[in-house]
Structure 1
Amino acid sequence: MNAETPTSDSAPSMAELEAKYQRNPAPKQAYRIELKVADAPGPFERAEGFVSYEAPNCTFIPNQIVGVRKRPSHTLPIEFAKVDESTFVATIHADAMLDEDYLGEGVCHWELMGVSSWLKATGAKTDIGYLANLAGDEVRAQKFRTNYYLKDEYPGNDPDERLDPGELDRNKFTPEFQGQLFTITSIAKAGTP
């Protein structure tokens, strides 16, 4: 038997655990996520993203030699729809993952950890992805977050698919750049569109 062959007393691999995680067939905690663009240097045709979940009450050791405990985690893609030239919307569920006993030690209770989104001018690989994120507690509290970005690099021409996180504080930009900013505001609202 080689070192990579699992035995009955070995810990499950990350891939084995990922394959076990199940979607909740009847989620009830819906949130509408809106991305609103203001003062953009040009159009945005595409919004992408994912929702991340974690089961904080469960842990496992994926590598017995290293011995570091990890929590089950999973991401689901977000499907945004373009509403108008400055707005994209999607519906996510805080309870999208099914609470189950995935590790044989009791039920793992999933929590929404965050929403990561990015906008692209055309969807081309060379476009900059302008990031706009919300933490799980911000989604549950139906808050919003505004990010500021420089207009001068739009739409981008980097072959390595660069992401721009922007800044949450517009004062991080020097005075000469204050007139060259655009914003993306991420808004969470309970319910579906």
Structure 2
Amino acid sequence: MKQPDIKLNPHPKMRYEITLTIEDAPGPFDAVEGSAGYEVANGGCVPLAPFSGATLTPEKDVWMALSRVSDKVYKGELYVDLLTDEDYFGLGLCRWSMPFANFSLRIGNLVFGHSIALNDILANKSATRYFSTLSYRESTPLKDGERPWVNSGNAQRSDFKEPKSTFSMTLTAKEKFQ
């Protein structure tokens, strides 16, 4: 299957600011990053793979520029309608969706990952995850060629053996009008 020439919407309108708030982290992070994940929502517009017969739905991650407001607050903007719906394969209009925005805090060989779903973004809601401070302290420097381990945390602080030894990441969405 040929890779489609994914085009950006020249006039996106659905702009949201995502605020990342970090509470009680045991120290600084080597990197703080964000991205918006897009995928074709209607698989019928995509041809089947020749051998497997599976539908390989196109996806695209777009990095989000984050501005550091303070040691524990970062802000970024995304457009829900950033990609252009188009007939990429001659099988009908492919409609893009942005099901989530991802954020990661990296320390050494460990990434603390969190995402906020499209429904929460559209409703201007927040999403919080909790992480063990022990994991942070046990991270080691990232070696050449090594991929970091991803920790997606827990939905409740009480899910941890030692709830007081946790920190949180909260993602808050707010619509930004043109």
Q: Which TM-score band (shorter chain)?
A: 0.7 to 0.9
Q: Partner residue of 2:112?
A: 130
Moved more, 129-138 or 92-101: 129-138
Q: Secondary structure at the match of 1:153?
A: helix
**Percentage of pairs with the same residue:** 26
Q: Partner residue of 1:50?
A: 35
Q: Distance in 1 between matches of 2:18 and 2:132?
A: 23
Q: CA shift at 1:158, angstroms?
A: 5.4
Higher strand share: 2
Q: Does 1:146 align with 2:131?
A: no
Q: Partner residue of 1:104?
A: 90
Q: Partner residue of 1:87?
A: 73
Q: Deviation per CA, 1:71-110: give whole Å up to 9, x if none.
A: 3322211111111111011000000001111111222221
Q: Distance in 2 between matches of 1:27 and 1:90?
A: 16
Q: Does 1:166 align with 2:153?
A: yes
Unaligned runs of 5+ in 1: 1-11
Q: Distance in 2 between matches of 1:100 and 1:171?
A: 46
Given candidates 43, 63, 67, the residue that maps to 1:77 is 63
Q: Partner residue of 1:157?
A: 140
The structure having more radius of gyration, on CA atoms, is 1
Closer, same or farther in 2 for the Cα pair 1:62/1:79, shift >3 Å? farther
Q: Distance in 2 between matches of 1:45 and 1:69?
A: 38
Closer, same or farther in 2 for the Cα pair 1:58/1:153, shift >3 Å? closer
Unaligned runs of 5+ in 2: none
Q: What TM-score results when the alignment is normalised by the length of structure 1?
A: 0.81
Q: CA shift at 1:62, angstroms?
A: 4.9
Q: What TM-score results when the alignment is normalised by the length of structure 2?
A: 0.87
Moved over 4 A (4+): none
Q: Distance in 1 between matches of 2:43 and 2:131?
A: 38
Whether contact under 8 Å (2:47, 2:55) holds in the other structure is yes
Given candidates 101, 122, 131, the residue that maps to 1:115 is 101
Whether contact under 8 Å (1:56, 1:72) holds in the other structure is no
Q: CA shift at 1:31, angstroms?
A: 0.5
What is the RMSD computed on CA atoms of the aligned residues? Answer: 1.8
Count of equivalent residues: 171
